Chain A
Amino acid sequence: VEAAAHALPIYNVFREDVPRDWLTAEETLSNAPRQANGLFIVPKVVE
């Protein structure tokens, strides 16, 4: 038996790669627990 990847036969779905408006940086950051200067703030990850 072939393993099911999906229940229905859906194969690759392509579209043209065109830019469009989506969330602004401000909207994207609006839910961040910590943010500053247009960036998500996390504990330091490099020494």
Chain B
Amino acid sequence: MTEKDLPALSIADLQSLLRRREVSAREVIDALQARIEAVDQDIGAYLSLDMEAAAQEAEQSNVDLPLGGVPLAIKDIINVMGQPCTCASKILNGYRATYDATVISKLRAAGAIPFGKTNLDEFAMGSSTENSAIKLTRNPWDLSRVPGGSSGGSAAAVAADAAFGALGSDTGGSIRQPAALSGVVGFKPTYGRVSRFGLVAFASSLDQIGPLTKTVRDAALMMNAIAGHDPQDSTALNEAVPDYIARLKHDLCGLRLGLPKEYLIEGIDPQVKTAIDAAVKQLNSLGAEIVEVSLPTTEYAIAVYYIVATAEASTNLARFDGVRYGYRAENPKDILDLYGRTRGEGFGQEVKRRIILGTYVLSSGYYDAYYLHAQKVRELIRQDFARAFEKVDALVSPTSPVPAFKLGERVADPLQMYLADIFTIAANLAGICGISVPCGFAEVEGQRLPIGLQLLGKPLDEARILQIAHAYEQSTDWHKARPPVAQKRRKT
């Protein structure tokens, strides 16, 4: 098995090797570590690694558990006991988690090994990972481009075979958009399907944790481990969790897929449009019926999102005050100086922008005009989806209107950056589930850049979304393509 390029394997393939005892969990950790050392200086996916602890856990791992001996990367906004949790912010400098998030306890119970923390936009606020206060992450397909965001480190690590799978969080597209731009699978569960306990909160009514993986089957495997009720999160739904793998074998005959006509906007890259058209044709040839649907409130989604999300962020981020954990400004002259300078020095520009915006829309005299109004439009957006799902089983669209953009290209213009999430944001407002799955490549300046197909499903209809994504994926070869950085080191 030494010949085999272990880190290139999917979780499912890795597991069959582990279970046949053809490779040990310890050998897997060593191979992964070598791989990370070889590529992460180019990619910059990881903020911290704890390979020693991972090696020890591997020695004791039970490979017959559902994810036994599988190392997984964790977005550095989820608490893993004993490891840093920086949220890619200066303000959490020096913090070490004193407990495991529920998703981490569940992954551990399933035998997985959380070994490292991945880069993100500071507090998950961004679409390119460039808002990280710690470092840049590069797209494995073209090192001059962004990996997407905010879960850009997780997406890039999986794409570069520097992780078998990873956890991300999705508040407005932060799992699906980087998955699309980096050429991997990214799954956002229904709001409440996965516990948020231990996820550092950005926008509590929108945040949801989910997997980034090489295949849809791997996403289903991780969902089997992390989904379910949690008494420690009052918004975690108390509903039975199906076996997400069991449904994958079903075909698409009799399913109806909706194309939202409002999503075929100007500004979609022509190569993205061509890839999506081909994917829709493919889904049709697999037995699904394609119908046009309408989501008339689509154009308001970004405006609503940047009111609701910033309002929630402004209250959530008030906990970073320099008293109980993280960064504290030096020599404060009194307590107000301590709060003010700690936040002034500790938060980055985009985080401050959102706190200020959120404070404004919640302030007395403006609450009704902005926040309350936005919550009403949010309800209309939810109703739009509910009406569409009376006619169809799932919705199909691009994940992102464009392939990966250049590092630095959109930094100066926050509005341009916000538009990167135009197709993903409404799903968070409506609380529904969605996935991005690779569906082709754009050729830009001689480089191949991945394109993602988004499927959106009804609340708690994860199994069906995974089924459709799996059927599509298995009928194409897109998920088998590896970025140049992955080819480079295949010496053995």
Contact = CB atoms under 8 A, between A and B. Distances in A.
B461 to A, nearest CB: 13
B290 to A, nearest CB: 26
Nearest to B231: A15
Given A1-B379, A28-B98, A32-B323, A6 B332 contact: no
B324 A31 contact: yes
Given A42-B335, A44-B334, 5 more contacts: A4-B378, A7-B378, A7-B429, A8-B237, A8-B459
A2 B378 CA distance: 10
Contacts of B332: 43
A6 B431 contact: yes
* Size bracket of the B interface: 35 or more
Interface in A1-47: 1-8, 10, 13, 15, 23, 27-28, 30-34, 40, 42-45
A33 B375 contact: no
A47 to B, nearest CB: 11
Interface in B93-109: 94-96, 98-99
Most chain B CB within 10 A, of A7, A15, A27, A30, is at: A7
Given A4-B375, A7-B378, A8-B431, A27 B98 contact: yes
Contacts of B322: 33
A31 B326 contact: yes
Contact of B334 (A5, A33, A43): A43
Contacts, number: 81
B316 interface: no
Given A13-B234, A15-B231, A31 B431 contact: no
B358 to A, nearest CB: 17
B333 interface: yes
A3 B375 CA distance: 5
A42 B338 contact: yes
Nearest to A13: B234
16 contacts: A1-B380, A2-B376, A4-B376, A6-B191, A8-B190, A10-B235, A23-B98, A27-B98, A28-B324, A30-B98, A31-B96, A31-B324, A33-B326, A33-B328, A42-B323, A45-B335
B379 A2 contact: yes
A1 B372 CA distance: 11
A8 B191 contact: yes
B382 interface: yes
A6 B204 CA distance: 10
Interface in B314-369: 322-328, 332-335, 337-338
Contacts of A45: 334-335
10 closest Cβ contacts across the A-B interface? A7-B431, A31-B325, A33-B328, A3-B375, A4-B379, A13-B234, A4-B378, A1-B376, A27-B98, A8-B431
Nearest to B321: A42
Contacts of B379: 1-4
Contacts of A44: 334
Contacts of B378: 3-4, 7
Contacts of B323: 32-33, 40, 42
Interface string B294-332: 000000000000000000000000000011111110001
B430 interface: yes
A15 B379 CA distance: 29
B335 A6 contact: no
B205 A7 contact: yes
Interface string B93-136: 01110110000000000000000000000000000000000000
Given A43-B332, A43-B334, A7 B191 contact: yes
Contacts of B96: 30-31
A41 B419 CA distance: 44
A34 to B, nearest CB: 7
B431 A43 contact: no
A33 B324 CA distance: 7
